[in-house]
Structure 1
Amino acid sequence: MILNCEIERFISEDLGANDISCTLVPEKEVSARIFTKEDCVVAGTEVAQKIMEYFGIQANTRVVDGDEIKAGDAIFEVTGNSVAVLRAERLVLNFLGHLTGIATQTHKYVETVRQYSDAKVAGTRKTTPGIRKFEKLAIIAGGGDPHRFDLSDAIMIKDNHRNAMGLENAIEAARRMGGFTQKIDVEVETAEDAITAAQMGVDIIMFDNMSPGQVIRTLEELKHEGVRDDVIIEVSGGINLSNISEYAKTGVDVISVGSLVHKAEWTDVSLEFMDTDH
């Protein structure tokens, strides 16, 4: 969901104190069409609709987040005051273009992985400050898993934690301080640390920057120690569309990919007024 205070912050940034561009046109009722110029998986429809509602614009749509549509397909048919439509236009198109790009990118990764395994494709916290929740929802629309929305969702022990206090001390502190609903996710770079983490009862072990071959060997060692089935295995670092299939074949449970967001290309979305009398 998007809050009115968020919408007002976005409007304030975009509108400024002396908007002449939008007020050049005479105020009258107009109709417009928002459509995609390329094949995509739609995301951001709820945000777009709420922004238009804030401006008093009626927005009708037959699509929902997660729908696959073709170039030229309409996302919204809108009617409203001409000035209001112009003022809402860029905010709406920016959200739709950015979030649909993320959903489309995520869908490509998910479809690639599904050819080889049931592993989840998850995002990371490499998101845009201020709009993370929207980007995470776009990942969901694309068929992915959002991973943590924030630091409080789970306790993640990374390399700097290990360097600062040692792996075992960090895990013990996490178990002592964490709530019963918070899972403990430990990032490891060696099979030895993975075995230690599993034996200490963590919930998730993330193999960081391991090659597919290293992942397979580490999984075999966990199986040899009898602890593979006790934990969720996540892999992350350096994963992209060109190599994700190799990671999917390893047997991990989760593949986390930061580029679902930070390398997603915006989808080309446009708004055009319908024919009107001048």
Structure 2
Amino acid sequence: MASIYGDLRHLLPGNYKRLITAWLEEDCPNFDYGGFVVGESDGEARLLGKAKGVVAGVPFVDEVFSQLGCTVEWHVQEGETIEPIKHCATVHGPIRKILLGERVALNILARCSGIATKTASLLAALRAHGWNGTLAGTRKTTPGFRVVEKYGILVGGADPHRHDLSSMTMLKDNHVWACANNSTAKDAGVSASPDSIAAAIPRAVHAAKAVGGFATKVEVECRNIEEANSAIKAGADVIMLDNFTPDGVREAARKLKQDWDSKHSFLIEVSGGLTESNAAPYACQDVDILSTSSIHQGVGIVDFSLKVSLR
């Protein structure tokens, strides 16, 4: 089955092509000795899926080979779950150029598909549990590879969450703590003790909204009900309950939604060490979002190989 979002290549920024150019240059910065042996004969190669998983990363593979003067004919749809051994695509072009792009294309496809597979698996488990909220990734991505990892999350059916620091204002404990200790906050009479975090949250939220404007949502990481109430009262759009127990999440989310019903509109996000083995108990009707890095950080690959044949 194709991605639930349709053709995701339309989302990609122009700079992804520059990234691929850099990755190709990284893999062959000088002479292509193996390519010299092969020469310029035309041919084709079969892209084989060697493990079960969700196929993701099609536009990146297309671009790798396009930059090398080759074409890719796909026999599966992105977002489709394959079983081994599956003939997923055929690459046409000069054999030397096919081999020049082989490892870069396979590395991207394997990792992107691994993320999509892990994402789809956790999402299916949460849906089976009866939860219809939003599963999201995090910003714990690999520098230089974020666009591929976020893309894989989307293909797997989840929300990519923030793409960068400009996507949304997320006020973590360090932001609020620093706000409580800066000179402006002190002049305003905000205490710098740890017990004053809840008191410092409104100032941090107001400052964030002042510069972010109406188009930038503000999320606040909260360690307890007091901090959550302070953030909601200040106008935060998303309340993150971080590192709560499952029972603590259920109680806090229920109470917050009940106490602020019809007064303020906000979403409740739960985060902190969530994995496929422990996420279900956190999924309750008052929780809108579960965010986790386990769907993209340290995730295994889906194995693919490329087998060349001369025309």
Partner of 1:146: 160
Partner of 1:102: 115
Q: Percent identity?
A: 36
Aligned-partner SS, 1:22 = helix
Q: How does 1:74-223 map to 2 (within 5 A)?
A: 74-115=87-128, 116-165=130-179, 166-223=200-257
Partner of 2:188: none
| Separation in 2, partners of 1:22, 1:237 | 48
Q: How does 1:191-270 map to 2 (within 5 A)?
A: 191-227=225-261, 230-249=265-284, 251-270=286-305
Q: Identify which range, 137-146 or 228-237, moves more after superposition.
A: 228-237
The reply to whether residue 36 of structure 1 matches residue 49 of structure 2 is: yes
Match of 1:69 among 79, 82, 91: 82
1:245: how far off? 0.9
| Separation in 1, partners of 2:157, 2:222 | 27
| Separation in 1, partners of 2:167, 2:16 | 21
1:254: how far off? 0.5
| Separation in 2, partners of 1:49, 1:150 | 26
CA RMSD across the alignment: 1.6
| Separation in 2, partners of 1:22, 1:261 | 34
Q: Letter of the 1:46 partner, please give it.
A: P
1:74: how far off? 2.1
| Separation in 2, partners of 1:222, 1:18 | 63
| TM-score normalised by L of structure 1 | 0.94
1:227: how far off? 4.2
Q: Letter of the 2:81 partner, please give it.
A: E
Is contact 2:61-2:108 (8 Å) kept? yes
Is contact 1:161-1:167 (8 Å) kept? no
Aligned-partner SS, 2:33 = coil
Partner of 2:7: none
Partner of 2:63: 50
CA spacing shift, 1:75–1:179, aligned 2, 3 Å: farther
Partner of 2:3: none
| Separation in 1, partners of 2:245, 2:294 | 18
| Separation in 2, partners of 1:205, 1:183 | 11
Q: Identify which range, 173-182 or 104-113, moves more after superposition.
A: 173-182
How many residues are aligned here?
276
| Separation in 1, partners of 2:44, 2:23 | 24
The reply to whether residue 26 of structure 1 matches residue 12 of structure 2 is: no
Is contact 2:209-2:216 (8 Å) kept? no
| Separation in 1, partners of 2:85, 2:78 | 17
| Separation in 2, partners of 1:103, 1:148 | 17
1:31: how far off? 1.4
1:270: how far off? 0.5
**Runs of 4+ deviating beyond 4 Å:** none
1:220: how far off? 2.8
Is contact 1:59-1:79 (8 Å) kept? yes
1:16: how far off? 2.0
| Separation in 2, partners of 1:76, 1:260 | 26
Q: Letter of the 1:109 partner, please give it.
A: L
| Separation in 2, partners of 1:65, 1:120 | 21
Structure 2: stretches of 5+ with no match in the other structure: 1-11, 180-199
| Separation in 2, partners of 1:27, 1:206 | 56
C-alpha distance after superposition, 1:119-169 (max 9, x if no partner): 111010000111211110110000000001111111110010121122121
Aligned-partner SS, 1:262 = coil
CA spacing shift, 1:26–1:19, aligned 2, 3 Å: closer
Structure 1: stretches of 5+ with no match in the other structure: none
Aligned-partner SS, 2:295 = helix
Q: Letter of the 1:221 partner, please give it.
A: K
| Separation in 2, partners of 1:17, 1:41 | 35
Is contact 2:257-2:286 (8 Å) kept? no
| TM-score normalised by L of structure 2 | 0.85
Q: Letter of the 2:161 partner, please give it.
A: H
